[in-house]
Structure 1
Protein backbone atom coordinates (compact mmCIF):
# COMPACT_ATOMS: atom_id res chain seq x y z
CA UNK A 1 0.00 0.00 0.00
CA UNK A 2 2.87 2.33 0.72
CA UNK A 3 4.27 1.77 -2.77
CA UNK A 4 0.90 2.58 -4.31
CA UNK A 5 0.61 5.88 -2.46
CA UNK A 6 4.28 6.87 -2.96
CA UNK A 7 3.76 8.25 -6.47
CA UNK A 8 1.04 10.57 -7.75
CA UNK A 9 -1.39 9.00 -10.23
CA UNK A 10 -0.74 9.42 -13.93
CA UNK A 11 -3.15 11.27 -16.19
CA UNK A 12 -4.51 7.96 -17.52
CA UNK A 13 -5.11 6.66 -14.00
CA UNK A 14 -6.99 9.84 -13.10
CA UNK A 15 -9.14 9.57 -16.23
CA UNK A 16 -9.94 5.93 -15.47
CA UNK A 17 -10.76 6.79 -11.84
CA UNK A 18 -13.06 9.63 -12.88
CA UNK A 19 -14.70 7.34 -15.45
CA UNK A 20 -15.37 4.64 -12.89
CA UNK A 21 -16.68 7.23 -10.43
CA UNK A 22 -19.04 8.66 -13.08
CA UNK A 23 -20.24 5.16 -14.00
CA UNK A 24 -20.94 4.38 -10.34
CA UNK A 25 -22.83 7.63 -9.83
CA UNK A 26 -24.90 7.00 -12.96
CA UNK A 27 -25.81 3.50 -11.74
CA UNK A 28 -26.77 4.90 -8.34
CA UNK A 29 -28.95 7.60 -9.93
CA UNK A 30 -30.60 5.08 -12.26
CA UNK A 31 -31.39 2.79 -9.32
CA UNK A 32 -32.83 5.64 -7.27
CA UNK A 33 -34.97 6.76 -10.21
CA UNK A 34 -36.34 3.27 -10.83
CA UNK A 35 -37.01 2.81 -7.13
CA UNK A 36 -38.98 6.04 -6.90
CA UNK A 37 -40.76 5.48 -10.24
CA UNK A 38 -42.16 2.15 -9.04
CA UNK A 39 -43.10 3.14 -5.51
CA UNK A 40 -46.82 3.82 -6.05
CA UNK A 41 -47.68 0.27 -7.24
CA UNK A 42 -45.73 -1.13 -4.29
CA UNK A 43 -47.58 1.14 -1.88
CA UNK A 44 -50.91 0.09 -3.41
CA UNK A 45 -50.05 -3.60 -2.93
CA UNK A 46 -49.05 -3.01 0.69
CA UNK A 47 -52.25 -1.08 1.39
CA UNK A 48 -54.40 -3.79 -0.22
CA UNK A 49 -52.63 -6.49 1.80
CA UNK A 50 -53.01 -4.52 5.04
CA UNK A 51 -56.71 -3.93 4.36
CA UNK A 52 -57.19 -7.64 3.63
CA UNK A 53 -55.46 -8.67 6.86
CA UNK A 54 -57.42 -6.13 8.91
CA UNK A 55 -60.71 -7.34 7.42
CA UNK A 56 -59.81 -10.98 8.11
CA UNK A 57 -58.90 -10.18 11.72
CA UNK A 58 -62.09 -8.17 12.24
CA UNK A 59 -64.14 -11.00 10.74
CA UNK A 60 -62.34 -13.56 12.88
CA UNK A 61 -62.83 -11.53 16.08
CA UNK A 62 -66.48 -10.75 15.39
CA UNK A 63 -67.45 -14.41 14.90
Structure 2
Protein backbone atom coordinates (compact mmCIF):
# COMPACT_ATOMS: atom_id res chain seq x y z
CA UNK A 1 0.00 0.00 0.00
CA UNK A 2 2.78 2.44 0.87
CA UNK A 3 4.57 1.54 -2.35
CA UNK A 4 1.66 2.60 -4.59
CA UNK A 5 1.25 5.88 -2.72
CA UNK A 6 4.88 6.75 -3.47
CA UNK A 7 4.56 6.12 -7.20
CA UNK A 8 1.30 7.99 -7.76
CA UNK A 9 1.55 11.49 -9.27
CA UNK A 10 -0.64 14.31 -7.98
CA UNK A 11 -3.85 14.81 -9.98
CA UNK A 12 -2.87 18.36 -10.91
CA UNK A 13 0.47 17.29 -12.37
CA UNK A 14 -0.01 15.68 -15.81
CA UNK A 15 2.45 13.09 -17.02
CA UNK A 16 5.15 14.09 -19.51
CA UNK A 17 3.36 12.05 -22.18
CA UNK A 18 0.11 13.92 -21.52
CA UNK A 19 1.96 17.24 -21.73
CA UNK A 20 3.49 16.27 -25.09
CA UNK A 21 0.07 15.26 -26.40
CA UNK A 22 -1.50 18.54 -25.26
CA UNK A 23 1.34 20.52 -26.83
CA UNK A 24 0.92 18.71 -30.15
CA UNK A 25 -2.84 19.34 -30.11
CA UNK A 26 -2.27 23.01 -29.32
CA UNK A 27 0.21 23.33 -32.20
CA UNK A 28 -2.26 21.72 -34.59
CA UNK A 29 -5.03 24.06 -33.47
CA UNK A 30 -2.76 27.09 -33.85
CA UNK A 31 -1.80 25.97 -37.35
CA UNK A 32 -5.46 25.47 -38.34
CA UNK A 33 -6.40 28.92 -37.05
CA UNK A 34 -3.44 30.53 -38.80
CA UNK A 35 -4.39 28.82 -42.05
CA UNK A 36 -7.97 30.08 -41.70
CA UNK A 37 -6.79 33.68 -41.29
CA UNK A 38 -3.94 33.47 -43.81
CA UNK A 39 -1.20 33.91 -41.21
CA UNK A 40 1.94 31.96 -40.39
CA UNK A 41 2.77 30.32 -37.09
CA UNK A 42 6.33 30.88 -35.86
CA UNK A 43 8.11 27.58 -35.35
CA UNK A 44 9.78 26.69 -32.09
CA UNK A 45 13.29 25.25 -32.29
CA UNK A 46 13.47 21.48 -32.36
CA UNK A 47 15.07 19.44 -29.60
CA UNK A 48 18.32 19.25 -31.56
CA UNK A 49 18.77 23.03 -31.57
CA UNK A 50 20.23 24.87 -28.59
CA UNK A 51 17.56 26.99 -26.92
CA UNK A 52 19.90 29.45 -25.26
CA UNK A 53 21.21 30.93 -28.52
CA UNK A 54 20.19 34.57 -28.79
CA UNK A 55 19.32 36.01 -32.20
CA UNK A 56 21.81 38.49 -33.58
CA UNK A 57 20.62 41.99 -34.40
CA UNK A 58 22.10 44.31 -36.96
CA UNK A 59 21.70 47.92 -36.00
Q: TM-score, structure 2 length as denominator?
A: 0.45
Give the helix-richer structure, 1 or 2.
1
Instruction: Give the structure, 1 or 2, with the largest relative contact order (CA under 8 Å, sep 6 or more).
Output: 2
Largest Rg, 1 or 2: 1
